[in-house]
Amino acid sequence: MSRQVEVARAVSKSAALYQQALQVLPGGVSRNAALHDPHPLYVDYGAGCRVTDIEGVTRIDFANNMASLVHGHADPDVVRAATEQIGRGTAFNVATEIEIRCAEHLRSRNAGFEKMRFVNSGTEAVMAGIKVARAFTGRPMVAKAEGAYHGAYDCIEVSQAPTPANWGSQDDPSRVPLVKGTPQSVMDDVVVFPFNDTDRTIALLDRAKDRLACVVIDLMPHRIGLNPADPAYVSALRDWTRRHGVLLLVDEVITFRSCYGGLQQQYGLEPDLTAMGKMIGGGFPIGAIAGRTEFMDVLNPRSPRYVYPHSGTFSANPVSVGAGLAAMEKFDRAAVDRLNGLTRLAITRVEEAILQTGIGASVTGTGSMFRVHLKPRAPRNYREAYLSPEENRRLKVLLDHMLAEGLILINSCSAALSTPMSEREVDELARAFRSGFQKLVSMG
């Protein structure tokens, strides 16, 4: 595979395409995650768990568009549902039956999803959830974990990427803007708490309890380290929010794939609101906010609780919800269990490679996702997961090695498995990690 990559680069169509892209796109891309040195990869087609680029190089895809493709690429059942709908129309100014069927299916997976609204992305789902909480409680403030990513919405971007130079004390983490020019008023309405630290989190929430609308939590936040939250911590958050009339909004945009009805089921958790996205669209843009009727009724024009006018041109478009329904029906309990079991095998094989090579590394994750850290101790919060310049350099060496060996990973060195995968792909992954670890050990 390495020789194949070398030949492809020698006659690179991608380099020329990137020069063209630089003339019309900032940085040559529409999403920074696509950037790669010396230029992005450009896909020709994907099939199952493999992607072939325009140079003719085929790789196993463990990124799956940031965990959104649980059935891999061009799944025939999803393709059939989408193409049949495209032939009947892609978007309408009236309702469709398929949105009802998709909502009913999602509700069947989790009893807490009494009512829901479809939107167009995970960002929109979190944004709508925050607005539902504000509308229901009449309060302005939001609380979130330091370092957690919940999409591109001003208040929820606060302290998404703080550094040692500006993150302040763990007892009172600084509210750090992600984007220059973020209004101070936005930051003033956010409580930032340290993930997995019950005492510090509760103390910070107590200080704002009369102004908090909701606590937003991802039970296994990717950028914090893809390490599942401590059950006692989650329980403490649920108890605190109930006592103070604050809504608990769980972000399951990534983690809904972890269990049949979302990672919250593993905790026995009943949040007030749940945000979803990614895999529930079958590869098409989608989001959904779900929760108990009393909260969701703030969106209902026929309810006396109605205080949140909500709409969206492409919300619940029949292509996205139809493809999503096909994907979700196919991801039944047996498929969830099989994929989770395959992921446990992958984690075991990678941990064996860590022991065999003697590298200081660790693995976190659950369900059908995991992340490799070039740290001997698995991080439990954002500050422990934070990468120094040297750690970033070593991570880039490892990711470049994996790509050269024919595997695509999420750029944090995370993997999201898909149902077309088997032990064969897991073996390839473990082999590539082993040789990558050996390379890093030899570098010192």
CATH number at residue 286: 3.40.640.10
Q: 278 and 182: one domain?
A: yes
Q: 63 and 9: one domain?
A: yes
By the 8 A CB rule, do 173 and 146 touch? yes
Query: Considering 284, 307, 330, which residue would you say is the last residue of a domain?
Result: 330
pLDDT digits (tens, 9 = 90+) for 78-107: 999 999 999 999 999 999 999 999 999 999
By the 8 A CB rule, do 228 and 366 touch? yes
Counting as low any pLDDT under 70, the low residues of the chain are 1-11
| CATH at residue 37 | 3.90.1150.10
Q: Residue 88 — φ and ψ, nearest 5°? A: -100, -5
Q: 139 and 243: one domain?
A: yes
Starting at the earlier edge strand, list the strands of the sheet with 407-408: 43-47, 50-53, 58-61, 407-408
Q: 361 and 322: one domain?
A: no
Is the overall model pTM greater than 0.85, yes or no? yes
Rounded Cα–Cα distance for residues 45 and 36 (Å) = 19
Query: Considering 330, 355, 386, which residue would you say is the last residue of a domain?
Result: 330
Q: 314 and 378: one domain?
A: no
Give the model's pLDDT for residue 7.
47
Give the model's pLDDT for residue 6.
53
By the 8 A CB rule, do 220 and 196 touch? no
Q: 249 and 202: one domain?
A: yes
Q: 86 and 111: one domain?
A: yes
Q: 313 and 350: one domain?
A: no
Give the model's pLDDT for residue 53.
96
Query: Considering 266, 296, 330, which residue would you say is the last residue of a domain?
Result: 330
Q: 190 and 58: one domain?
A: no
Give the model's pLDDT for residue 418.
98
Q: Please give the tally of structural domains in the chain.
A: 2
What is the span of the domain harbouring residue 412? 2-70+333-443
Residue listed under structure tokens 């032990």: 423
Which tokens go with 378?
């698995």
Give the model's pLDDT for residue 10.
53
Which tokens go with 14?
């991608």
Q: 299 and 226: one domain?
A: yes
Q: 263 and 410: one domain?
A: no
Q: 429 and 337: one domain?
A: yes
Give the model's pLDDT for residue 8.
46
Count of C-beta atoms within a 10 Å radius of residue 184: 8
